[in-house]
Amino acid sequence: MDSRASDIKLLQDLISIRSYSGEENEVAEFLAAEMARRGFSTRRDAAGNAIGVLGDPNASERIVLLGHMDTVPGWIPVLQDGDRLYGRGAVDAKGPLAVFVLAAARVAARLSDTCLIVIGAAGEEATSPGAHHLALTMPAPACSIIGEPSGWSSITLGYKGVLAINYRLTQASGHSANGEATPAEEAIDFWNRVVEATNNANQGESWRFTTIDPSLREIHSGGDGLEDWVEMRIRLRLPPGLDISSLQGEIASWAGAAEVRFPYSDPAVQSEKNTPLVRAFLRGIRAAGGRPTFKLKTGSSDMNVVGPTWSCPIVAYGPGNSSLDHTPEEHIEIPEFLRSIDVLVHALEQLLH
């Protein structure tokens, strides 16, 4: 099997392993074995992350390539149709993770005083327990690359923040003719208050990276004849510079008799353009025949978790069209996947000079 066919097979094998958030053990063991086969020293940490190290772990400089192994639910049969490879995780984010493993292995012989660390993190599509564990336990590297789809000729410099809101209201059951608001109606009033407040906050903002974007993810209501209840999950996408603690206090003040919890939040993150890491990627993209562009994403990623803690040069990079994330049509273009490996090899070689 030639090297390109072997590269494609790694990606196909990764996609073929079902790994919904919280169910990553099989894919983590496979990833660790594949990295070991390519010369990495491998281990699993307490959060379930799969970690591969090339070079001396005590080297004076460390570069971390942080991808994630989990996917959202919704199985897509793995299928190659011409240059397209279909399957859950092809874009988000096993394609970028495979690129990390393959590119790092190619430059291993050039390591001297630099250590390369490739990580398949657990739970990014949930609450990022893998990345939070790394932020607490792993010393800050010289620079870090996050494995997320940017397109082979683009670099992602930032992501919006996120705030999750869980709303629950329970009250004694009453007759529908008594005129009292039901829990479901109270919940809708709360949601409308959130929408009104974000619309007011967004006045004058035309760029989505600087707006607060609310999303009603779930709402359920019911009763047993004695009590009626409603539960609702809301997610806010947040712009840079927002005081999340103050926002939580304001939202909680609208709840009335309801219980409002904030199960997780991460601030927005935006990195600088003028760093050796960014310049290395610009050279790599141009060397592969591309015209580099920068992106700021309206979603979030593990970059939101480790970026503020590590405070090092950081970007996100990987093949794939992010508009296919979480969709039934998720697929990656194989030529783009292969070209992304070349870009990353060139970028790493620049950083290793």
**Best CA proximity match to 259, nearest among 169, 190, 183, 165:** 169
Evaluate the CA torsion angle 153, 129, 126, 271 in order and state its sign: negative
CA–CA dist 17, 76 (Å, integer): 11
In the beta sheet, which residues pair with residue 144? Answer: 64, 314
DSSP letter, residue 258: S
CA–CA dist 239, 234 (Å, integer): 17
> Are the C-beta atoms of 187 and 167 separated by less than 8 Å?
yes
Where b means 16+ CB within 10 Å and e means fewer, 296-310 reads bbeebbbbbbbbeeb
DSSP letter, residue 305: H
Q: Which residues are catalytic?
A: 70, 124
**CB proximity list for 275: less than 8 A, separation 6 or greater:** 143, 313
Would you call 153 helix, strand, or coil by DSSP? Answer: coil
CA–CA dist 28, 14 (Å, integer): 10
> Are the C-beta atoms of 236 and 162 separated by less than 8 Å?
yes
The DSSP-derived string for 189-208 is: HHHHHHHHHHHHHTTT--SG
CA–CA dist 337, 307 (Å, integer): 25
Q: At what angle do helices 3-16 and 94-106 cross, to 10 degrees?
A: 140
DSSP letter, residue 181: P
CA within 13 Å, CB half, 162:
23
